[in-house]
Structure 1
Amino acid sequence: MTDTVPDFADMTLDELKVALAPDIAASAIFDGWNETALTAAAEMAGCDPDVARLAFPGKGSQLAMEMIEAWIDSIDQAMEAEWPAERLTELKIRERIRTLVAFRLDAVADIDEAVRRALAVMAQPQNAARALKLGWRSADIMWRLAGDTATDYNHYTKRAILAGIYSATLAVFVNDDSEGKADTHAFLDRRIDGVMKFEKAKAQFLNKDRELPSLTRFLGRLRYPAR
């Protein structure tokens, strides 16, 4: 929420979605991700509720996902503004990823219940595919900000792994009663450390300069043991 009222009349519907998203999330704490939250958010922001409904035309679960997607978009945009790629270059890869995920956690630190309700909506069978797409998109943005330029299978595995880490961290986050969400951040650190160790081991194994044993020679020795 901001101190100045934005000029909603000059916004496109996509811009309006993102502008209203933080207020919708705040309302979802009490009302859930539904039309009541949308109306309350519009009134809170000083936007005509009828105009807000044009930006979010869905009903029921579809409306909930439209609002959640806009909320995720608003966090993505805030993250990109706060941590542009050039600012992250001073950090090691591990710290770049941790910083970006931590930013996202801090962005929703005071609205745990909105996150909990959003995760429940995204877990519904009819929303699973869209939820996976949103997780992938956020992971892609984080890796691009971190400087990743992979175009081979690593491009996909990195994003799939990070999306999984982020999803698991959010599950811990909504049930974390520790001060400052310390348990959540400790969980995040352990998961990232595990991935970094795996990536290091994989890189060593796939190193083209590493002399690998000949498979033909190995099979030959099985058939004709050395005396």
Structure 2
Amino acid sequence: MHDDVKQNLLDAILPHVAFDGWSPDAFRAAATDAGVTHETARLTCPRGAVDLAVLYHQNGDAAMVAALNDADLSDMRFRDKVAHAIRLRLAAVDDKEAVRRGTTLFALPHMAPEGSKLIWDTADAIWTALGDTSDDINWYTKRATLSGVYGAVVLYWLGDDSLDGQATDAFIDRRIDNVMQFEKVKAGVNNNPLLKPITGPLGRMMGMIKAPNQTPRDDLPGRWVDPT
């Protein structure tokens, strides 16, 4: 029931977001339009419109994962699979202005940790859907790198007025190329015998870092917990 009310509020707030952003005014209007009392709306979304903005992003991630699971990626290079996943994530957006307003919201200093977490979660969803099994430092570096790529792509996409988003497609390919070049350089450094006195001890130290337990934790930076 709680989830249904929250989804109804999200559906109701979207027409208002274009004018009022993810704001208290938009949240109140959504409650009225959805036929939900303001008390119930607040119980469902303690942070008001912020909780609905988070849900909007999470719904997009879920739609992307579903599309990835249905896609035939067997003939794709891995870099192309990642690029395809990013394109599917953008295609999951049914309201570009809601994303634009969300970018403004999560750029606020007190909301930046939440925004960073959402981008990280998108990167994690992509790697997980593509079958990533890393459990060491690579678990973090893959997601950190893809978070940077995805964040840059979204900002570029928001300003893209090219035909059918062709400029964004090209931008995605360039960013993935940059990542692949970095990985080649990293591999070259790690395999260089002249650098073994440095990379050897560093590699052993990095090998001690493990991926987090997959059980959700509530004490991670950027994670907000409903006090109730």
TM-score range, shorter chain: 0.7 to 0.9
Q: Which amino acid aligns with 1:99?
A: H
* Aligned counterpart for 1:105 among listed residues 90, 98, 119: 90
What is the CA RMSD across the aligned residues, in angstroms? Answer: 2.7
Q: Tell me the distance in 2 between the aligned counterparts of 1:155 and 1:85.
A: 24
Alignment-derived partner of residue 175 in structure 1: 159
TM-score (norm 1): 0.74
Q: Is 1:124 aligned to residue 112 of structure 2?
A: no
Instruction: Check 1:97–1:26 CA distance in 2 against 1; reply closer, same or farther (3 A cut).
Output: farther
Alignment-derived partner of residue 7 in structure 1: none
Q: Tell me the distance in 1 between the aligned counterparts of 2:41 and 2:162.
A: 37
Q: Tell me the distance in 2 between the aligned counterparts of 1:114 and 1:31.
A: 10
| Post-superposition offset of 1:152 | 1.3
Alignment-derived partner of residue 4 in structure 1: none
TM-score (norm 2): 0.74
Alignment-derived partner of residue 18 in structure 2: 29
Instruction: Check 1:146–1:22 CA distance in 2 against 1; reply closer, same or farther (3 A cut).
Output: farther
Alignment-derived partner of residue 82 in structure 1: 67
Instruction: Check 1:87–1:37 CA distance in 2 against 1; reply closer, same or farther (3 A cut).
Output: farther
Q: Tell me the distance in 2 between the aligned counterparts of 1:20 and 1:88.
A: 36
Write the deviation string for residues 45-84 of structure 1: whole angstroms up to 9, x where unpaired: x5535444432122xxxx3432211111111111122212
Write the deviation string for residues 18-54 of structure 1: whole angstroms up to 9, x where unpaired: 564355344312221123433554566x553544443
Instruction: Check 1:54–1:83 CA distance in 2 against 1; reply closer, same or farther (3 A cut).
Output: same
Instruction: Check 1:154–1:212 CA distance in 2 against 1; reply closer, same or farther (3 A cut).
Output: same
Alignment-derived partner of residue 145 in structure 1: 129
Fraction of identical pairs, as percent: 39
Confirm or deny: 8 A CA contact 1:89 1:146 kept in the other structure: no
Q: Which amino acid aligns with 1:149?
A: T
Alignment-derived partner of residue 176 in structure 2: 192
| Post-superposition offset of 1:15 | 5.3
Q: Tell me the distance in 1 between the aligned counterparts of 2:182 and 2:195.
A: 25
Alignment-derived partner of residue 212 in structure 1: 193
Q: Tell me the distance in 2 between the aligned counterparts of 1:19 and 1:90.
A: 40
Q: Tell me the distance in 1 between the aligned counterparts of 2:133 and 2:109.
A: 33
Alignment-derived partner of residue 5 in structure 1: none
Alignment-derived partner of residue 67 in structure 1: 52
* Aligned counterpart for 1:166 among listed residues 133, 139, 150: 150
Q: Tell me the distance in 2 between the aligned counterparts of 1:37 and 1:197.
A: 44
Q: Tell me the distance in 2 between the aligned counterparts of 1:144 and 1:121.
A: 27
Query: How many aligned residue pairs are there?
Result: 196
Bigger Rg, structure 1 or 2: 1
* Aligned counterpart for 1:57 among listed residues 46, 58, 78: 46
* Aligned counterpart for 1:48 among listed residues 11, 14, 36: 36
| Post-superposition offset of 1:121 | 0.8
Q: Tell me the distance in 2 between the aligned counterparts of 1:96 and 1:49.
A: 45
